């Protein structure tokens, strides 16, 4: 990417023949107001910036610096393609208009002025830090050795109540990824020519260049997710993909690229989930997600049914994260993309901590 006009994608650019029929009986819909997307609905006045995290998390910051998330800060605004998209959208500076900011940059508000401080950063995924940064690292006022188990669990609970998104909370992590990697602004896609989203999959996209699991190994190793966690990442990722695509179709108003791509995405997610359901019959929630997805036609003017289906899918995904930990889901291993499919290379741990 980075300037390249288009990349090969496994996702069909135009609707597969079956979908053309599904989509659409037509109809006019009222336009939805598009709120800020992605970045955990971050409040820019609570952003502390990656430098504040770097005080303790040096290795994780180093890993981040070699990702597209970091580099987009300098590279995206210079891309010819960015200029084209911006011009058609009437955006004069991509670093100052909210349409691009919410997904490409981190904005920090100090007193009254807002400043774009980096690309997609720690807090885009872990939540704006101001209210939890001291809590999560404070060992309840003690040390790692003297803090009791009960105190530690109360500390984590408080940090999460104050907005921290932790790695164990796969649903919220995935919601963040998809909040940016599916682009729910119809005009930006149809008129601006922006991609409708990435060919995203949570295991392969989180275990490559994005991986920075160097903290709990004390900087010795960038530990890949283990088999059980990968299964959970895979299932939850697909569930959130389906949820996000259904909500995106609900916003479509015209039979153009945006609507077709979102319908193709939903169809693809529910097909892949159907395969997972077959391989994991002990998790009935997955088959229920697929049924729900088929209960709402992927067409224009169907916002209420699509939103109801998306809400149902969301509840099922959350209940899966509460009831299962992946250990019993070995049946789906053959469906999960292997290390050769990882997006980019994970940084090797070492040197600094
Ligand atoms: C003063 C040092 C310090 C700073 C600054 C700091 N952290 Fe941490 N962080 C820690 C410590 C200590 C732990 C581990 C606590 C434990 O394991 O009980 C931790 C753990 C974490 C974890 C893992 C949580 C888990 O569930 O395992 C994440 C994610 C994290 N920090 C993100 C951040 C982010 C993002 C920032 C900046 C907004 C930040 N930290 C700033 C010290 C710090
Ligand atoms: C909803 C989130 C979202 C919004 C809003 C958004 N982008 Fe993007 N953008 C992405 C994602 C995700 C990618 C990476 C897509 C991929 O995987 O190829 C991307 C990729 C790009 C690229 C590189 C790919 C290409 O098409 O050449 C450019 C340039 C770009 N965006 C410009 C913009 C501009 C300019 C704006 C504001 C007018 C904007 N984006 C708004 C999420 C967004
Ligand atoms: C693109 C989203 C994203 C960004 C950006 C991001 N993280 Fe993470 N972080 C994650 C995910 C996802 C995990 C869990 C990874 C896994 O399951 O393999 C994680 C795990 C962690 C952990 C636990 C590591 C361990 O040893 O297990 C720490 C600490 C952490 N992140 C801190 C940071 C800091 C500091 C930054 C900024 C330099 C940052 N993260 C940027 C998504 C992100
Ligand atoms: C705040 C929005 C945002 C969030 C949250 C986010 N991303 Fe991204 N991501 C982007 C954008 C925008 C790009 C494209 C940047 C560019 O190349 O200009 C991107 C690029 C990437 C790339 C590089 C893709 C390539 O073409 O090589 C990977 C991998 C990736 N993201 C994984 C993740 C994962 C995994 C998560 C969640 C744990 C996540 N992202 C969360 C916005 C986001």
Q: Is the CB of 183 under 6 A from ligand 2?
A: yes
- Residue, of 108 and 112, whose pLDDT is higher: 108
Q: Of 179, 167, 287, give the one whose Cα is nearest residue 226.
A: 167
- How far, in Å, CA of 95 to CA of 85, rounded? 13
- Give yes or no for residue 269 having a pLDDT over 90: yes
Answer for the pair 49, 110: CB distance below 8 angstroms, yes or no.
no
Residues with CB under 6 A from ligand 1: 48, 52-53, 55-57, 122-123, 126, 129, 133, 136-137, 152, 166-168, 215
Within the chain, residue ranges assigned H as helices are 17-22, 50-54, 58-65, 68-75, 80-89, 98-104, 122-126, 133-137, 149-161, 170-181, 186-190, 202-206, 227-250, 257-279, 284-295, 303-323
Residue 55's pLDDT is: 97
> Which residues have C-beta within 8 Å of that of residue 155, sequence separation ≥ 6?
135, 136, 138, 139, 140, 147
Residue 159's pLDDT is: 98
Mean pLDDT of the chain: 90
Which atom of ligand 1 is the closest one to the Cα of 126? Answer: 35
- Give yes or no for residue 14 having a pLDDT over 90: no
Q: How confident is the model at residue 351 (pLDDT cuts 50, 70, 90)?
A: low
Q: Looking at residues 16-22, what average pLDDT do you find?
A: 47
- Give yes or no for residue 144 having a pLDDT over 80: yes
**22-75 pLDDT per residue, tens:** 554 333 333 333 333 345 478 999 999 999 999 999 999 999 999 999 999 999
Least confidently predicted of 33-37, 227-231, 342-346: 33-37
- Give yes or no for residue 193 having a pLDDT over 70: yes
**198-213 pLDDT per residue, tens:** 999 999 999 999 999 9
H or E element, residue 110: strand 106-110
Minimum CA distance residue for ligand 2 atom 24: 1
Minimum CA distance residue for ligand 3 atom 41: 122
What is the percentage of the chain residues whose pLDDT exceeds 90?
Answer: 83
Least confidently predicted of 45-59, 103-117, 200-214, 229-243: 103-117
Residue 22's pLDDT is: 54
Q: Looking at residues 342-352, what average pLDDT do you find?
A: 88
Residue 97's pLDDT is: 78
Closest ligand to Cα 87: 2
> Which residues have C-beta within 8 Å of that of residue 104, sequence separation ≥ 6?
72, 73, 76, 94, 119, 120
- How far, in Å, CA of 128 to CA of 149, rounded? 26
Provide the whole-model pTM: 0.93
Q: Is the CB of 216 under 6 A from ligand 3?
A: yes
Task: Tell me the CA–centroid distance for residue 211 and ligand 3, in Å.
Answer: 7
Which atom of ligand 2 is the closest one to the Cα of 82? Answer: 29
Residue 37's pLDDT is: 39
Pocket test for ligand 2, best of 73, 85, 96 (most atoms within 8 A of CB): 85
Task: Tell me the CA–centroid distance for residue 184 and ligand 2, in Å.
Answer: 12
Domain boundaries, the chain: 36-127, 130-163, 167-340
Residue 352's pLDDT is: 55
- Give yes or no for residue 95 having a pLDDT over 70: yes
Pocket test for ligand 2, best of 103, 187, 192 (most atoms within 8 A of CB): 103
- Residue, of 5 and 200, whose pLDDT is higher: 200
Structure token digits, residue 78: 């210079």
Q: Is the CB of 69 under 6 A from ligand 3?
A: yes
């Amino acid at each position: 990417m980075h300037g390249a006009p288009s990349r090969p994608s496994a996702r069909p650019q135009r609707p597969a023949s079956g979908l053309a029929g599904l989509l659409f009986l037509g109809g006019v819909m009222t336009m939805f107001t598009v709120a800020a997307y992605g970045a955990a609905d971050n409040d820019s006045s609570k952003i502390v910036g990656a430098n504040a995290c770097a005080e303790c998390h040096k290795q994780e910051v180093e890993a981040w610096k070699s990702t597209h998330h970091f580099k987009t800060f300098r590279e995206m605004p210079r891309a010819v393609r960015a200029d084209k998209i911006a011009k058609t959208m009437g955006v004069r500076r991509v670093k100052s208009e909210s349409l691009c900011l919410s997904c490409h940059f981190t904005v920090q508000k100090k007193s009254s002025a807002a400043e774009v401080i980096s690309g997609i950063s720690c807090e885009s995924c872990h939540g704006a830090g101001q209210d939890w940064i001291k809590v999560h690292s404070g060992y309840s006022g003690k040390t790692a050795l003297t803090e009791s188990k009960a105190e530690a669990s109360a500390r984590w609970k408080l940090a999460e109540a104050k907005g921290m998104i932790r790695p164990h909370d796969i649903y919220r992590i995935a919601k963040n990824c998809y909040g940016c990697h599916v682009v729910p602004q119809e005009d930006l896609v149809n008129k601006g020519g922006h991609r409708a989203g990435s060919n995203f999959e949570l295991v392969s996209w989180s275990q490559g260049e994005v991986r920075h699991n160097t903290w709990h190994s004390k900087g010795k190793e960038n530990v890949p997710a283990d088999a059980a966690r990968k299964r959970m990442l895979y299932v939850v990722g697909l569930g959130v993909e389906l949820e996000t695509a259904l909500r995106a179709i609900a916003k479509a108003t015209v039979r153009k690229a945006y609507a077709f791509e979102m319908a193709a995405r939903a169809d693809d997610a529910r097909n892949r989930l159907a395969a997972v359901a077959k391989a994991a019959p002990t998790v009935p929630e997955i088959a229920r997600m697929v049924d729900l997805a088929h209960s709402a036609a992927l067409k224009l003017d169907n916002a209420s049914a699509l939103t109801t289906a998306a809400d149902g899918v969301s509840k099922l995904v959350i209940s899966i994260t509460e009831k299962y930990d992946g250990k019993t889901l070995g049946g789906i291993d053959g469906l999960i993309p292997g290390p050769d499919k990882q997006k980019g290379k994970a940084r090797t741990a070492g040197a600094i901590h």
